[in-house]
A and B are shown apart, each in its own frame.
Chain A
Amino acid sequence: MTTAAANPIHDAKQTPEDLVEYYFEQAWSDGLPVVPPTPEKIDAVLDMLGGDPDYIEAVVPPRRGGLTRRVLAINIVMAGCKPEYAPVVRAAMLALTSPAFNLNGIQATTHMVSPLLVVNGPIRNAIGMNAGHNVFGSGNRANATIGRAIRLILLSVGGGTPGDLDKSTLGSPAKYTYCIAENEEISPWAPYHVEHGMSPEDSSVFVIGGEPPHSITNHIADDAEGVLDSIVSAMSTIANNNAVSSGSCAVVIGPEHAATISKSGWTRHDVRNYLWMNAGNKFSALSFNDRYGKIYNRNLPRWYKRQPDARIPIVPSADDIHLFVAGGEAGRFSAFIPGWGHMTSPVLLRIDGTSSNAAAMCEDGTCRL
């Protein structure tokens, strides 16, 4: 079945006067005006991507649209990206369409999940990404338009149209754009991609299916335990998907909190293990004391104790807590980003599309070696 022309160029004689309105009318937009693509702009992106413009980089579910380099370039231009952002968008799409991520489920679910992109390495500064103040917010072209290009592709190529193939009950603001960079310069620890077996000179993109960030305030603690106990509190709710479906999550520590934790001598490893050891719920809370029968929570790992007083961790292991340092230098805030559950596994790729061998897993992400 073919639903769109193989050659994406419409007849130039019929080009309407107001292209922005025309793209709105075709529903080729995220609800905001798009940048009308021109041959020059598309060629500039194709030059950055290199190779045959008709090469299919990925097939995007659930519509299973073919993401050729040309179609990728069209969406990158429409999102308002500079050509030099293109390799980041491509690497993110390769990560999102790897079997472990289960983009089909992420696109179609009733949950509000959206892919979060976190960029590491020299490319952050080369393309002018924001890792500082308002890192999750507006105001930076690279962060905003890279995330927006991903969403346009998920909508147009992946067919993730709200109410049609995207069945999200509520959606979230992160479904417009959700892309940050780690603040490696201010972080007291090694960058995320180095923790995961890459070199500091590598540039990488990490994708995880997440809720929007949940703010964590702590203006009192002057040690690691105090700051981390606030993060533990934010993580320990029975209402997020991690609580009932395990999986993975992200924690973004603000620079002031990171400095306090680091001053106590704690490493990334210590932080992740402390959070894992202390965040979670009692099984009695998750099972509503069997008020609705004993079948509830059958999707938690089989090795958890199903006893009222058993502690159920928020994710199965400390490695399932993905830790970043980001944000501006002032302010004692961090953020918790609950994941979607065991139905998806995060993916880390270098910008050239290659992966580190540090995190071995089954190809489809459903088991652990």
Chain B
Amino acid sequence: MIYDPRGTIDAPVLHLAQRPASLRGLRVGVLDNTKWNGWKLEDRIATILAERLSLGPVRRYKKESFSRDARPELLAEIAAESDLVLTGIGD
């Protein structure tokens, strides 16, 4: 007899969001994951994007801890207020 020690995965399949046809006027959310250099990276990218593209308003958000999930309330807030979200890690 052979026994598989891995257990099964029972999770819904999630699909990536559709890419927008144009970035013009879209609201951008920037989520700081609070790693040491994360904000430097994200802020620079957001600034460059705003300079080069005709984006809508840019809003900034901050996670409580870089390793933990963002709070569901924060995710709901970002989803309601943003068309695009930028986040990243910066050790």
Interface residues of A (CB under 8 A from B): 1-6, 8-10, 12, 14-16, 19, 22, 28, 37-39, 42, 60, 63-68, 71, 74-75, 78, 102, 104-105, 109-110, 152, 156-157, 295-296, 298-299, 341-344, 364-367
Contacts and interface: CB of A to CB of B under 8 A. Distances in A.
Given A3-B6, A66-B9, A295-B40, A15 B1 contact: yes
Contact of B2 (A10, A298, A367): A10
B9 A105 contact: no
A157 B5 contact: yes
Contacts of B34: 298-299
Given A12-B1, A38-B1, A343-B65, 16 more contacts: A1-B11, A2-B9, A3-B9, A6-B8, A8-B3, A28-B5, A37-B3, A65-B8, A74-B3, A74-B5, A102-B67, A102-B68, A157-B7, A298-B36, A299-B66, A365-B68
Q: Is the interface of B mostly helix, strand, loop or mixed?
A: loop
Contacts of A364: 68-69
A298 B91 CA distance: 12
Contacts of A296: 36
A216 B7 CA distance: 41
A68 B3 CA distance: 13
A28 B68 contact: no
A156 B5 contact: yes
A22 B66 CA distance: 39
A19 B2 CA distance: 8
Given A295-B40, A298-B36, A9 B6 contact: no
A65 B4 contact: no
Contact of A152 (B4, B5, B13, B65): B5
Contact of A66 (B7, B13, B68, B71): B7
Given A295-B39, A298-B34, A364-B68, A63 B1 contact: no
B2 to A, nearest CB: 4
A344 B11 CA distance: 24
Contacts of A299: 34, 36, 66
B77 interface: no
B63 to A, nearest CB: 10
21 contacts: A4-B8, A4-B9, A5-B8, A8-B4, A8-B5, A9-B3, A10-B3, A14-B2, A28-B6, A37-B1, A42-B3, A64-B9, A78-B5, A104-B67, A152-B5, A157-B5, A341-B67, A343-B68, A344-B67, A364-B68, A365-B68
A6 B10 CA distance: 10
A65 B68 contact: no
B6 A65 contact: yes
A156 B7 CA distance: 8
A65 B4 CA distance: 12
Interface in B5-45: 5-11, 13, 34, 36-37, 39-40
Instruction: Kindly name the residue among B4, B13, B39, B91 whose own CB sees the greatest number of chain A CB atoms within 10 A.
Output: B4
A74 B6 CA distance: 9
Contact of A105 (B3, B7, B68): B68
Contacts of A343: 65-68
A64 B11 contact: yes
A60 B10 CA distance: 12
B6 A4 contact: yes
B7 to A, nearest CB: 4
Interface string B52-83: 00000000000011111101000000000000
